[in-house]
Amino acid sequence: MNYNRFITKPLNTMQKKHTIIVLGSTNTDMVIRSRRIPAPGETVSGGTFLMNPGGKGANQAVAVARLGGKATKCIFVAKVGNDLFGRDTARRMKADGIDARLIVDTHEPSGTALILVDKNGQNCISVALGANGTLSSDDIYPIFKEELPLASALLMQLETPLPTVLFAAQAAKAAGVPVILNPAPATKLPSALYRCLEWITPNESEAELLTGIPVTDAASAAKAAKVLQKRGVKNVLITLGAKGCWCSLTQKLHPANKVKAVDCVAAGDTFNGAFVVALAEGRPCEEAIAFAQKASAISVTRLGAQSSVPRRDEIQA
């Protein structure tokens, strides 16, 4: 692929800072919240059922739109089925002010996820990718050719095909657009992808899978970050749950806000969306992390995925 076609002339800062592209998945989450998560072969009764919009890409797009406020334009690129869930995704994105560029797959259904949440807010998730799994570089090429010249950041995850993620990252790099990758769910990445990344934002288990280093504290996070930087990533931010996050740019652990968690679904997605918004606004790294931690802390006090994402005025308050 000739990526030179994505190279653009520099834009002024005021023009560039308003547009964030999110490429990723959209799912319908079917959630059961009960006292504990069943062991294999076990049935746990007495839970409550909720059906919520989700998918890591859609969650992060919602976070960007709600936390970016009026000054931020969010473009969400995804693939859906020709079904009720796909049409509902379009409706919900519009309601949040998101410019959703949804490609329709006439053969695969929209993505779904089954989520179990215990009384402490911990969860386990099983995802059926559906149309998310067929998103291709051909699907996104016309959108990227049109929108990359105006973008200030590209945010991605790994619930869509890896070749498509790599294509998008290389196109963004050629256009001079910073790429932020949240490597979830974790998988081995091609070396070419690392070299395109301005930021990578794994949690502790994802960082271990990528580097082979068990991450439990600031010291082990620093070691894992060095491995990722040697592969070509410019900056590394490793989230450590209730302990906070470790940043290679600040070279320190940033403690998390203390809250009573009821549901951790989409906490990481909220963090990533908020972090990218703050970076796109030109905030210093520490301030961007603090903004993201406040947003994530609010999200874990609420049930659901997109329903838990706060708005900008809540963070400012």
In this prediction, residue 213 carries a pLDDT of 98
Q: Where are the alpha helices (DSSP H) in 96-217?
A: 137-147, 162-174, 191-194, 204-211
Length of the chain: 317
Look at residue 312 in the predicted model and tell me its pLDDT.
Answer: 93
How many other C-beta atoms can be found within 10 angstroms of the C-beta atom of residue 107? 9
CB-facing half-sphere around the CA of 146: CA atoms within 13 A: 8
User: What gap in Å lies between CA 123 and CA 285, rounded to an integer?
Assistant: 29
Comparing 16 with 311, the larger pLDDT belongs to 311
CA dihedral 278, 284, 290, 292 (to 10 degrees): 20
Give the pLDDT confidence of 280-305 residue by residue, as tens digits: 999 999 999 999 999 999 998 887 77
The pLDDT-based confidence of 180 (bands split at 50, 70, 90) is very high
- DSSP labels, 189-201: --HHHHTT-SEE-
Q: Residue 225 has what pLDDT?
A: 98
What pLDDT score does 8 carry?
Answer: 47
The fraction of the chain above a pLDDT of 90, given in percent, is 76
Q: Does residue 23 contact residue 154 with C-beta atoms inside 8 Å?
A: yes
CB-based burial label for 288 (10 Å; 0-12, 13-18, 19+) = buried
The confidence band for 132, taking pLDDT boundaries of 50, 70 and 90, is: very high
- As a whole number, mean pLDDT of residues 62-84 equals 95
Q: Is 269 a catalytic residue?
A: yes
Q: Taking the model in full, what pTM does it have? A: 0.89
| Predicted local distance difference test score (pLDDT) of residue 11 | 40
**Residue 13 has what pLDDT?**
42
Q: Which domains does the chain have, with CATH numbers?
A: 20-310 (3.40.1190.20)
**Distances in Å between the alpha carbon of 224 and those of 85, 156, 218?**
39, 21, 10
Mean pLDDT of the region 215-228: 97
Lowest mean pLDDT among 32-36, 107-111, 119-123: 119-123
Q: What span, in angstroms and rounded, lies between the C-alpha atoms of 256 and 235?
A: 20
Q: What percent of the chain has pLDDT over 70?
A: 95
Region 73-87: mean pLDDT is 96
Catalytic hit among 96, 118, 139, 269: 269
